[in-house]
Amino acid sequence: MTDAEQQYESSNPLYEKSYPSNGAAEPAGESEPQPDAQQPQFPNDEAFAAAQLTLRALVSSKEAGVIIGKQGKNVADLREATGVKAGVSKPVPGVHDRVLSVTGTLEGVAKAYSMAAQTLIDSPPPSASSLASGTTSIRLLISHNQMGTIIGRQGLKIKAIQDECSVRMVASKEMLPNSTERIVEVQGGAESIRLAVWEIGKCLVEDWQRATGTILYNPQPKEFGSGGYSGPRARTGNPADFESPDGADQTQNIAIPADMVGCIIGRGGAKIQEIRRVSGARISIAKQPHDESGERMFTIRGTSDENERALFMLYEQLEHEKVRRQMEDQEQDE
């Protein structure tokens, strides 16, 4: 593998990894999930086109203004042309990002993101100055548990999407704060972005069950979340937001890096016991790694609210451990 293929993107603090389209092997840790017989089957593109999907993207405040347009004209035209429901989250003081949410058929969602991309190309905000003429960037929010489906074994799927759609894709390695979502950035022209969103959407609708229990990213000031769990957050899935009967138990599997398992279990099992007690969920931990990545599978069982509390606490503990290790590394460097 060349030095260029090993280079990590440094344009933002997520330490993103760019996947080359030359067939180079992907780093360990991302593996395509095995087919699930219970998942819906899509025999052809017509079936995919009609599948329901909610796909969110992170946009800057200036990009949001361009997408919305004067008096909401641009987003209204987008809704009328594609038949989707689309909107941008309200601005939060001191926060420069907002969330664009698009819900509809896969065909409509892909077209909607293409229209949003074309609007950004026609009226680029200052932040887009570094991109090539006629191109823009869309930062899609993807559930951590679905990333393996998009990346594929040895990165083959994400490389294929890049080649077929003439886009550049960058998958973040870290989850966004207080959430279980990661960013997949797609760079290219409007039509290329439409094709890429179509291919990504096909992966998501086939693998919708893995998205159940996702803690959605909600842009907040940096100090947000320090006080602990703030209540259940919306779940996402495909078709849009599947719900189970109130009180019905659900099962959620999440993979935890092997070197982080200890911080979640805690000394003498104290931390995992606390998570079980506070969340009300039953949590079991696989004794052995579930694949060559070395990750251990955590199985969470409980009501939707109990599972979401447990997921939030698990990922909050991971965030705390990452910060602790970063500070430790900085002290060693000094």
Tokens 């080359």 belong to: 20
pLDDT tens, position by position, for the chain (334 residues)? Answer: 333 323 323 333 333 444 444 333 333 344 444 444 444 566 678 888 889 999 999 999 999 999 999 999 999 999 999 999 999 998 888 889 999 999 999 999 999 999 999 999 999 887 666 678 899 999 999 998 899 899 988 889 999 999 999 999 999 888 888 788 999 999 999 999 999 999 999 999 998 888 877 888 888 876 443 333 333 333 333 333 333 444 567 887 787 878 888 888 988 889 999 999 988 999 998 888 766 667 788 888 888 788 888 888 888 888 788 778 877 777 776 6
DSSP structural state of residue 286: -
Q: Is the peptide bond before 239 cis (omega within 30 degrees of 0)?
A: yes
Distance from C-alpha of 324 to C-alpha of 332, rounded to nearest angstrom: 12
Long-range contacts from 74-80, C-beta under 8 angstroms, 24+ separation: 74/119, 77/115, 78/112, 78/115, 78/116, 79/112
Q: What pLDDT score was predicted for residue 19? A: 46
Q: What pLDDT score was predicted for residue 251? A: 81
Distance from C-alpha of 31 to C-alpha of 152, rounded to nearest angstrom: 6
Q: What pLDDT score was predicted for residue 204? A: 93
Beta-carbon-side half-sphere exposure of residue 80 (alpha carbons within 13 Å): 6
Q: What pLDDT score was predicted for residue 54? A: 94
DSSP structural state of residue 122: H
Distance from C-alpha of 137 to C-alpha of 149, rounded to nearest angstrom: 21
- CA dihedral (35, 38, 44, 46) positive or negative: negative
Exposed/middle/buried for residue 90 (C-beta within 10 Å: 0-12, 13-18, 19+): exposed
Instruction: Look at residues 211, 57, 190 and name the one whose alpha carbon lies nearest to residue 134.
Output: 190
Predicted TM-score (pTM) of the model is 0.63
Tokens 């409007």 belong to: 190
Distance from C-alpha of 49 to C-alpha of 109, rounded to nearest angstrom: 9
Looking only at the bridges linking them, the beta strands covering 168-171 and 97-105 are unpaired
